[in-house]
Structure 1
Amino acid sequence: MKSVSTILFLLSVLLFVGAIWNMAALKRPGFYPPKQVLKKRASALAGGGGIFLIVAIILSSF
């Protein structure tokens, strides 16, 4: 169970890093994907990271 929670923690960190990367891309001028696409992608990555983080915390508490 410990390895599953570790993998979920790492996956949540990767998703949060992806969300931060997409939010940073909003500040760059002339970036190809439209800002609305970047905002949707960043929110989806942050939401997924939050879900995986909550599941990992629940699994690690058992």
Structure 2
Amino acid sequence: MRLCRLLGCEAALLKERSPSCGSGMVYDGTFTGVLTAGEGVTAELLRAQGIPVYGESRVAELADPI
């Protein structure tokens, strides 16, 4: 978070389904390919600090003004 603040981060583009970065659905961490509803640790932290989180399937939305 310190780096995000220092650089003036306005949004984050993170890897979908990652236990750290996922948004909405994440792998459960058992390495069996099972998805579970929820947020990754990093995605949750960023959102809690008011930074919008986007997965790679939503990259086009970042071209719009924030």
Q: Which has the higher contact order (CA 8 A, sep 6+)?
A: 1
> Which has the greater radius of gyration?
1
User: Fold-level match, TM-score > 0.5?
Assistant: no
Structure showing the higher strand proportion among its residues: 2
What is the TM-score when the length of structure 2 is the normalising length?
A: 0.30
Structure showing the higher helix proportion among its residues: 1
